[in-house]
Structure 1
Amino acid sequence: MNPKTKSCAGCLKRITNGNHLSCYLCSDTYDLDCANINFQLFTTMSKDRKDKWTCPKCHNKKKKSDNTNTPIIPKLGQKRNRRDFSSSPDETESNTVDQVTQRKKLQTSVSTDSSPSHIDESLLSTIRLEIQSSIDRSLKTVIESALKKEFEAIKIELNTLKDLKTGIEFLSDEYDRMKTELKTSEEKVKLLTNSNNSLLIKVGELSQRLNLIEQHARETNIEINGIPEGKTENLNNIAKQLCSVISIPSQVVEAASCTRVRKMNDTTSRPRAIIVKLLSVSKFNKKNPNEKLNTTHLGFTGTKTPVYVSEHLSPHYKALHARTRQVAREKSYEFVWIRSGRIFVRKNEHSPAKQIKSYETLDKL
């Protein structure tokens, strides 16, 4: 047998577990059955109580309480009366018998559970267990209720987040769609811009060609400005007289081509220009710088006004020529002239001539 293994002093069985008590008087060891203690009470016993535990054998050996206060024995310090001894022996015997307190015999085996302390401990343990169980149930109910409320709130929040997620996904899809459409639109705008630029270049080229064609159609025309208008005027006679003055044979004048044209500025008081289609243009003013062509040369009386003979320009080149004369005055250019429908400028006699093809060329002067 293992020397460390203990045996119960009551049933002499070996104790294989730690559920036992040792008497602090006789040091005998008892299992819980022989100690008459249930396991629940054993687990609630404090260490101090276990150390002061007494076995049933030692508990029965304890001295009984003092019985000096019984009726047959006088109290301490009280004298007996002599008349107590004067009674007859029979009376004395009967009185003695009547006054003797009869005690019940003690049971041979006294259970530790029957003691008031053990009963109180068992009751307190049961009460503690009931209270603990009630508290546990209450706490469980409260916790479950609180958790249920929290879970409901979390569930609502999750549903809200789900709806929010759906909304965000929808907005994201719409953003991607709009981004794709914007990219497509940007590409279309870029293509249209390139196409528009190409068309503008072509339109500019066509406009320039049209202006050249219009100007070429006017190469044999001259424009006469400054001739007074009259209701009975004869433009052919005026053209023939002009040709005779500037030494051009009158047969070069084409009668069908003599006509007045509308003024570019209707508010001016100057007379409308006369267009005459000639085969050649004279240089009368260069030969007569002191007496340039004027109305007296053509037989008009009254105030002498200059007469200007120039090539018949298209509306585009006529406006460009007017703008060129204005810019030339602003930038101190001395010479502006037209030759074969082309506009030229020169800063002075020593500078080279520059052709004005468009307004952009004019801006670079």
Structure 2
Amino acid sequence: MEQKHQTPLKKCSFKCKSIIENRQFTICSVCENAYHIDCANITFARFRIWTNETKKSWICNRCIKSKTNTKNAVHSPSLEKDTVNITRRKKRIGTLECNDMNDVDSKSTNSSPTTGQTLFSMHKETDEYITKDLPTEKLLEKSLSIELPVESVNTSFQSLEDLSHSLELELVNELDIVSKQKIKIDNLQIKLKSCETELDDTILENNELRRQVTKLTKELLILKTFVKPHKRQKNSAGVYFQVRPQVLQIKKIQSKYLFWKIK
């Protein structure tokens, strides 16, 4: 059972003077000081069965010694003694009826624990009372309330498993599509490289042809400079005929020779 009137960063008013970090503490209804249940010599089993009214009416040992009116208040064992002999018991599920809790409180308050043996007997009596008189129906209800969340958790786990399986299938399909697209891209890259190679070969061939054309053009110009057109002359019959340049040159030389000879 948790304490409802929790104050942030409260310090225990007993010897430990440490900050109360959990909810296992109680507050004095007179001085409003906070105490750990261990420092107040209150067992966890007894603290769990306290009602809100019981917690609100609890009075610390200091206020009791100062002769405060404690007619309807809940007292705690002596705080002046060490708490070495306090025995902690295991937690148990379930609650007690209001009358039963009052009986337990009355038994605890009527006894005046002054030694470790008295504290041990009080703890043992409270634990036996809880174990003996706890209703079985409440235990069954608690068991059923635990089983229902387990079923809901199993259903949620199954739905998550189905969702994971469907996502896995979708992922496999997507990976297959990506793999096919990658193969297509590789094929296109191979074709592109082949086309680039053919284009390079074509460019080289074209350059070679241009070089040959340029060479042949130069040779043709050189031949044109050496070859002249043939002249046409008439023979004794009045018919034109073509004479090569070499023959004309010889005839010119002969005519000059004859002219000088006659002269």
TM-score, normalised by the number of residues in structure 1: 0.33
Higher helix share: 2
Which structure has the larger Rg over C-alpha atoms?
1
TM-score, normalised by the number of residues in structure 2: 0.43
